[in-house]
Amino acid sequence: MAALDGCAIGHNRSPTDLCADFHPMGGLTRLDGFVADPANNDIVLWGLKEADATPLMLDDFIVAIRAAHGEYTVMENGQNVIYQPGISIDADNSIWPILGKINNLQDTKQKLEYERVCATPMHLRVDGMPRHTRVSDILLAADFRMKLVNEGLATIPIRDFFKGINMRGIERDIVQTKTGAAYKRPQYDFDRYWFRAGSFTFQTTPRGETVFLDTAQVILSQQSQNMANGKMVSGGINPDQQAYVCDWNSRMEDTFEAEQIWRQMYNVFRHFAIARIIADRQVLQSVGFPSDSLLRGHEVKFVYVPDSLPGQSFLTPVKVGNVSWVAGICGGVSIDFDGSNFRRDDSTAISDDVPRSVFSNRPHGQSVGWDI
């Protein structure tokens, strides 16, 4: 590692006190892992402090650690249920049969009807964590912007920017129309796109008290559906959709560097991954950390997240054949870690020099942040 920074949250100061003067987590911009400190009933969080990145916020990690410890339950049929953390933006299914009857966007009346129907509010669902938090707001903003990029309503400032679904289809249809290729495009699709955890691995020291998040991969996934007899059914393979998802995933790192919202989403995944390790390994209990103050005592800052957003419409800028094509996009962000995408990397291990360096550089007194 080029540089390491540490942040300790201990029992001698409550998380509420820490937030008063340490809300941005001491300038950390990426969380890499933690060191268990049973001698002081502490857990030291460590990571990078990059000059060109936005500082992390303690509230985001507190939401993650509470979710990992099952603090966000919902009552269903008389039982407490725990959902995997995530958000979803879902269109109203009632709009698809209506849009399917609009077949000429060159007609002013049909064009206005298309825009009106497309503006039907999309429902925002938040699972496994509180709605009105900065975490939910970040994931919502990332998901919504991804949909704008997909529709052709926004671009990401990266070199050789990849096109969204609509522009890909328009360009291909123009070529096929000119060449007379025998191809009939579906009148409308219902496509679901969502960000999810790819491969996440972590290393530990020989004694296991130090953890380093080795691999942290966020990927975009896609599922195609069509409306048949008033119901949604799985759709066929759409080359435009596959190319779009493939291009995005191959340029994911570029998006992190290009726009702040993608880096923020990536950091949320890292928070939840490290929180998951702490919960699975019962680190709070093993170090004697007074977890009540962390899991229940601190009040996370309220950040308003609405129940719905207006739908967005994309109007084909050129006439392709005699049939217009309309599309609907739904999806979200799923922060789901399990044995298939989250594991310890037994092929490597962190040196014991790491925890020694963390503790030897810790200033005397009640310091909660220091450089290593």
pLDDT tens for 272-326 read 999 999 999 999 999 998 888 788 888 899 999 999 888 777 665 455 554 444 4
* Cα–Cα distance measured from residue 319 to residue 104, given in angstroms and rounded to the nearest whole number: 9
Radius of gyration of the chain (CA): 24
- The count of other CB atoms within 10 Å of the CB of residue 295 is 18
pTM of the model: 0.85
Sign of CA dihedral 132, 133, 136, 137: positive
Please name which of 268, 364, 355, 365 lies closest in space to residue 44, comparing C-alpha atoms: 355
Domain ranges of the chain: 5-371
Q: What's the confidence (pLDDT) of residue 26?
A: 79
How buried is 11 (Cβ within 10 angstroms: 0-12 exposed, 13-18 middle, 19+ buried)? middle
Q: What's the confidence (pLDDT) of residue 217?
A: 96
- Are the beta carbons of 40 and 6 closer than 8 angstroms? no
Q: What's the confidence (pLDDT) of residue 64?
A: 96
Q: What's the confidence (pLDDT) of residue 147?
A: 85
**For the chain, which ranges sit under pLDDT 70?**
1-23, 103-106, 173-174, 176-190, 225-237, 314-332, 365-367
* Cα–Cα distance measured from residue 362 to residue 355, given in angstroms and rounded to the nearest whole number: 11
